[in-house]
Amino acid sequence: MKYAYITARLNNSFVESSGHLIKNMIASCEFNGYQCSPLNFTFFHNHKYGNCYTFNSYFSDNPKLITRFQGPGYGLKMELFLNQKEYVANLATEAGIRVLVHRRGSMPFPEDTGMTIMPGRSTSVGIKQLKFSRLPPPHGVCSNRGKITDFYNKYVGSSYSKLSCLKDFLGQKLSKTNSLYTDRDIDDHFTKIQIFYEDLIYTYIDQQEAYESMNLISDLGGQLGLWLGLSAITIGELCSLLFSVGRSLPNTWFGGSKTSPVIHSRKIALTDVMPISKIEPASLEDMYDDLCPEQAKYIPPDIIKTKSDLYNIKGSDI
């Protein structure tokens, strides 16, 4: 914490020059099959890790770099020189580099969500794009306040100083030493990393209300209609039924006089007999036997006992 307090009071240019520079760290760089350079990296200072650099930064003056294919051959490949000999024992608690993949334009926090890349190893990182849309309060802890934008510090130029002179002299002396590295040195000071898209499918997750107020009202109405029968249609049918029953009740129930139903009778006379065919007496006798008593009384007996014509009987009201 003391180191973070001290560096926070210093100029960004001085802090960057005092730490590991990106131009000294990159041994090789390639993106989407093309060579990249330290110009594609943007500096920002972190209170825990010191000098940090963002590749393809939103705040860079260089054109945005994009890839349209998936797989390791179309991502970012880097071979980095870590130079552990310049680590400060009281400040550096681990060896390697800290890598964080974040959305372009967002503020990175490598101390919370990053990953550590070991020296002397080759590491591959496959990524997929996923986006969440969350509901505002009272459904969660999110708010509608403005988005966090530019957290990067703006850079200012620095003038020549005594410290800069000492660093230049030290660089000239170091350039005269043997720069050949053994296998042990490579394992201790170099690492390789490649970051690429595993899939180009864009996944979007939208958070919705699980139970709205209208759903509550609808469910209550359904339960009342199902268990209590209090729907408008049921009440209307019940009123219609009561009205029909009331009209069909006898008038005596409502204080009226008792009346008897009127039965109208009709009498039929036998007139205007017309012959239609000739039938043998034996056949008429069989017909007479098949007729019921109420039907047989309308047929004259002489027609059945003698051979004669069968007449059609026409009736009229009396």
Reported as a single tens digit per residue, the pLDDT across 44-69 is: 888 788 889 999 998 888 889 999 89
| Angstrom distance (rounded) from CA 124 to CA 145 | 37
Structural domains for the chain? 2-206 (2.60.470.10), 213-250 (no CATH), 271-314 (no CATH)
Q: Residue 282: which pLDDT band, with cuts at 50, 70 and 90?
A: very low
Q: Are 191 and 118 in contact (CB under 8 A)?
A: yes
Average pLDDT over residues 99-115: 86
Q: Read off the pLDDT of each residue in 76-86 and give the average, rounded to a whole number.
A: 86
Distance (Å, rounded) from C-alpha 83 to C-alpha 27? 12
Gap between the Cα atoms of 99 and 46, Å rounded: 13
Q: Among 92-106, 132-146, 188-202, name the one with the lowest average pLDDT.
A: 132-146
pLDDT, position 32: 92
- pLDDT, averaged across the chain: 72
More confident residue, 299 or 196: 196
| Contact of 53 with 101, CB cutoff 8 Å | no
- Half-sphere CA count of 90, side-chain side, radius 13 A: 3
Say what the pLDDT of residue 53 is: 92
Q: What is the pLDDT of residue 140?
A: 67
Higher per-residue confidence, 302 vs 242: 242
Top pLDDT among 192 and 140 is at 192
Res 151 pLDDT > 50: no
Q: What per-residue confidence (pLDDT) applies to 298?
A: 57
Q: What is the mean pLDDT of residues 95-101?
A: 88
Tens of pLDDT, residue by residue over 267-279, are 545 444 445 444 4
Match 């350039």 to its residue by tokens.
Answer: 175
Q: pLDDT value at position 129?
A: 85
Mean pLDDT value across residues 224-230: 68
Asked if pLDDT for residue 75 goes beyond 90, the answer is yes
| pLDDT tens by residue, 153-193 | 443 344 445 555 666 666 666 666 555 656 666 667 788 99
Count of C-beta atoms within a 10 Å radius of residue 254: 8
pTM over 0.75: no
User: Band of the pLDDT at 289, cuts 50, 70, 90?
Assistant: low
Work out the average pLDDT over 221-249.
Answer: 76
pLDDT recorded at residue 306: 41
DSSP 106: S
Lowest mean pLDDT among 4-18, 111-125, 198-212: 4-18
For the chain, the distance separating the N- and C-terminal CA atoms, rounded to the nearest angstrom, is: 127
Region of residue 255 (left: phi > 0; alpha: psi -120 to 50; beta: else): left
Stretch 291-296: mean pLDDT: 58
